[in-house]
Amino acid sequence: MKGYRISVLRHGMTEANEKGIYIGSTDLPLSDKGAADLAAKMDEFDYPTVHRVYSSPLRRCTETAEILFPYTELQTVDDLRELNFGDFENKSIDELAKRADYNQWLRGTKESRPPNGESLEELTARTYKALHAVIMDMMESGLTHCAMITHGGIISNMLSCFGIPKFPPSQITAEAGGGFDIIVTAQMWLNSQAFEILGYCPYDRIPEDEY
């Protein structure tokens, strides 16, 4: 049965990421260091050749796609955007640490949400919508390997909820410019809403003398 492979990658760093500031729906570009780090990763590791790149519409993701896959078609998917942190947006952990509503949210359930923000349950629902749209598009277009550029929270949520084998979110975090390869068949997705986690992406570069 035909398999569809997706390289799911986290965007490069922004200045807010470097300072430990919550940015979900806030649309910030990559920092100079973030862009340089992605270029360095391309020199150190092998990124796959893919047919299409599906990306969150936020600039830090589309700019990452342009660096990592400069000659590949880019298609934005609105539901791949990061969690909306509401009143916690653009605030650091240190700023929020003494707020009762922040600590209540950290201890809460999947239904808990930041004030004026989005819950984990809502994030999971639209992560499913995004993943379903991408997989259906790949199948209809006959694309067997594509990339997805999105956010750390989306990746952990996606893999913990729909990936096999099962991992807690804390064990499947993606670093900037890194992530995981997944593979899915039509039967797996339509019957079980699941995919297989294959391993890390990008790939270790094989020295030429080992070919």
pLDDT digits (tens, 9 = 90+) for 168-187: 988 999 999 999 999 999 99
Residue 24's contacts (CB-CB under 8 Å, 6 or more residues apart) are 81, 82, 83, 84, 85, 89, 117, 118, 151, 153
Taking only the tens place, the pLDDT of each residue in 8-64 is: 999 999 999 999 999 999 999 999 999 999 999 999 999 999 999 999 999 999 999
Q: What is the per-residue DSSP string for 160-183?
A: HHHEES---GGGS---TT-EEEEE
Spatial separation of the C-alpha atoms in residues 193 and 173, rounded to whole Å: 21
For the chain, how long is the longest CA-to-CA vector? Answer: 58
- Tell me which residue of 4, 5, 8 sits closest to 157, measured CA to CA: 8
pLDDT at 208 over 70: no
Structure confidence at residue 209 (pLDDT): 61
Structural contact between residues 194 and 163, judged by C-beta atoms closer than 8 angstroms? yes
Residue type, 6: I
Residue type, 146: C
Structure confidence at residue 20 (pLDDT): 92
pLDDT at 211 over 60: no
Structure tokens at 202: 């990008």
Residue 55's contacts (CB-CB under 8 Å, 6 or more residues apart) are 61, 62, 64, 65, 74, 75, 76, 77, 80, 148, 149, 150
Taking only the tens place, the pLDDT of each residue in 131-157 is: 999 999 999 999 999 999 999 999 999
Residue with tokens 């391309």: 42
Residue 209's contacts (CB-CB under 8 Å, 6 or more residues apart) are none
Q: Where are the alpha helices (DSSP H) in 69-119?
A: 93-96, 100-106
